[in-house]
A and B are shown apart, each in its own frame.
Chain A
């Protein structure tokens, strides 16, 4: 029996053991804690800003050309501060009353004002609707109430809306 000769395999080079890698392990727990506190703070203290928009209007031009079409007489909406009605408890005009020309009663409810204006606008001849105008005259009223009257006139369908001070 032939003797098998053991072939000697070359030895693999001995790997030099590298030093353990330096690991940086920042502790992020306090970071997360503080971030949650910040989040909680802003959730409780923050206010979501409401979107602003605009109500379009126009000033009377210097050289308006007279129209041949019959223009309906303007509707006058008076916005009067609470003190005008002699309400002593509202001497700082925290309320306002809307009175539409031709209507006996005034109201402090903007929705009622819009309903009244809408009825008047619906009664206007369709060909003259674009020329139908509302004059908002204010006296001792705060700006917010005037803007509200303007908004209701626009909602009723009027395109020509003017803001002016009521002659005292």
Chain B
């Protein structure tokens, strides 16, 4: 609350702007936005990346990033729930490329359909990379598999099949460094 000039003993006419409530409200707003906003990346979906013993994983350079398509394999369970029931985490829910979802649930699509959709996407991205001069041919274009470590490894096969069908030969597997 603003103190009167008489209370503070200051001369009349001296104006004091009380910014304390303003600061309080601003900080509350900041807190609200920090808590409710999640910083998400379209490329790197939130999942449990495989943590390997004595990792030999290399850091990916900027140039290599332009020469590959990143496929996230999403688990059914919320990635922020590591203590989830193991029975619920076995099946993959979907593949995610730049935020676009490609279902892989057998109840929704057959394996052939999943492979077909991924192949089309890979070809589209490889063509764009060739057009932009990032790679010379599709053989130089790769696929990075960034899978949740809890899903069954069978869910990776459609990605490998689609990459082979699209004529890609390079594979990168994401692991913790």
Taking Cβ atoms with an 8 Å cutoff, the residues of A that contact B are 19-20, 22-28, 30-31, 34-35, 38, 50-62, 79, 92-94, 110-111, 114, 138, 140-148, 150-152, 154-155, 163, 165
Contact = CB atoms under 8 A, between A and B. Distances in A.
B149 A31 contact: no
A52 B175 contact: yes
B57 A54 contact: yes
A52 B149 contact: no
Contacts of B30: 38
A46 B42 CA distance: 21
A53 B147 contact: no
Interface string B22-38: 01100100110010000
B129 interface: no
A92 B87 contact: yes
A54 B90 CA distance: 23
Contact of A55 (B90, B151, B169, B172): B172
Contacts of B44: 52
Nearest to B161: A59
A54 B53 contact: no
A24 B156 CA distance: 64
Contacts of A138: 153-154
Contacts of A154: 56
Nearest to B92: A143
B52 A147 contact: yes
Interface in B33-56: 34, 44, 48-56
B173 A94 contact: no
Given A38-B31, A53-B57, A143 B149 contact: yes
A30 B15 CA distance: 21
B7 interface: no
The 8 closest A-B pairs by CB, nearest first: A53-B57, A144-B149, A92-B86, A147-B50, A53-B177, A54-B172, A26-B19, A57-B171
B50 A144 contact: yes
A151 B151 contact: no
A65 to B, nearest CB: 14
Most chain B CB within 10 A, of A25, A52, A79, A114, is at A52
Contacts of B163: 59
A163 B155 CA distance: 12
A19 B164 CA distance: 83
